Homo-oligomer: A and B are copies of this chain.
Amino acid sequence: MKHNFGAGPCILPQEVFQEASQAVIDFNNTGLSILEISHRSKEFEEVVKETEQLVKELLNVPMGYSILFLQGGASQQFAMVPLNLLPENGKAAYLDTGVWATKAAKEAKKIGQVEIVASSGDQNYSYIPKNYQIPSDASYFHFTSNNTIYGTEVFEKPQTSVPTVVDMSSDILSRSIDVSQYDLIYAGAQKNMGPAGVTLVIIKDDLFHKSGRTLPSIFDYEAHAKAGSMYNTPPVFSIFVSMLNLRWLKAKGGVEAIEQENIIKARILYDEIDRNPFFKGTAAVEDRSRMNVTFVMDTPELEAEFLALAKERNLVGIKGHRSVGGFRASIYNALTISSINALVDTMREFEENHQ
């Protein structure tokens, strides 16, 4: 049994894999594979509806928002957000908390004017900037709620009167949020929602066509909303597996229940990092992510040795991103406390080996 701490695409529940595997052979007793059914079939239309309903229910999405399943990942949203929301003469405000936030702003700059309201680039993005000003004449404010590479997370929505857009790719469905505080939420599915290949967008309907630009339909949120995410052939299998995963989350007690589990999982791991003299965390304590736990050692030689031990103990995917180094344990919804314990045990074993 492997403990998959990979940053994404990442672990999903074993029962989801079992059900998905079965549907590749026979979907819903149709005698057909989920891979060969028409996206216009009654059976698949029900899949899309149920997935939408589960998102609505699990995140308490209020009236007046559309839930879309798109393609292209968060990276495509980096372009679609300004295309839909930023008028020719407008200005967008971006918070810079790491590589993905920087990319989002960089892509928006190709479309219109962008102001970076704050950046933690001065300290390798190891903290979340606070006390910055968001210009009240901005068309929208954009931020990234969880920074997978640096292990930081924004738990409180920044205060602003302008429409707020958030990239929640790596922490959506891991904790309760008040959707009504946001105008547009997007997330590549491949962390807590499902497999790669589908992107969730939750958009307030009054944002449609806010930029006033002429857009190809495929980039127009309203075209997708009107078509119920069936403007063109959707990524059938990725949506189906997302549905299975959301069903699992609901059966677990929903976002509120998983949030409690995620808090405990993160606490166990951070406590060990803080206690164990061989390891130290890299992110500012108050901004520590509950999804991606980054930590380092004093010397590269010891790090290599710990990685080798981790591999022996079936811990997968804990090598840190090259821009931070050391280790990164991604502890998404489907990662169990027993996997957390396996990592902590390995850290203690390492400590004992060196005493």
Contact = CB atoms under 8 A, between A and B. Distances in A.
Interface of A: 1-2, 4, 6-12, 17-18, 20-22, 24-25, 30-33, 35-39, 71-76, 78-79, 107, 110-111, 188, 190, 195-198, 214-219, 231-238, 241, 316-317
Q: Quickly give the copy total for this chain.
A: 2
Contact of A35 (B76, B236, B241): B241
Contacts of A241: 35
Nearest to A22: B21
A215 to B, nearest CB: 7
Max chain B Cβ within 10 angstroms of own Cβ: one of A32, A107, A218, A233: A233
Contact of A37 (B1, B6, B21, B75): B6
Given A2-B31, A76-B218, A218-B107, A233 B20 contact: no
A2 B32 CA distance: 7
Nearest to A317: B38
A24 B35 contact: no
Nearest to A1: B31
Given A32-B2, A32-B316, A233-B196, A72 B75 contact: no
A195 B35 contact: yes
Nearest to A198: B197
A6 B38 CA distance: 7
Contacts of A111: 216
Given A2-B32, A71-B197, A78 B216 contact: yes
Given A197-B238, A231-B75, A24 B20 contact: yes
Given A21-B21, A110-B216, 5 more contacts: A17-B33, A39-B196, A71-B71, A196-B235, A197-B197
Nearest to A217: B107
Contact of A33 (B12, B74, B188): B12
A234 to B, nearest CB: 7
A242 to B, nearest CB: 11
A38 B317 CA distance: 8
B25 A9 contact: no
A72 B71 contact: yes
Contacts of A2: 30-32
A73 B71 contact: yes
A217 B7 CA distance: 23
22 contacts: A2-B31, A2-B32, A6-B36, A6-B38, A9-B35, A9-B39, A9-B233, A10-B36, A21-B25, A32-B316, A71-B73, A72-B232, A75-B231, A76-B232, A107-B216, A195-B236, A195-B237, A196-B233, A197-B198, A197-B238, A235-B238, A238-B238
Contacts of A21: 21-22, 24-25
Contacts of A71: 71-73, 76, 197, 235
Contacts of A107: 216-218
A41 to B, nearest CB: 8
Contacts of A317: 38
Nearest to A190: B233
A108 to B, nearest CB: 9
Nearest to A20: B24
What 3 A-B pairs are tightest by C-beta distance, nearest first? Answer: A79-B216, A197-B235, A75-B232
Contact of A218 (B4, B32, B78, B233): B78
B6 A236 contact: no
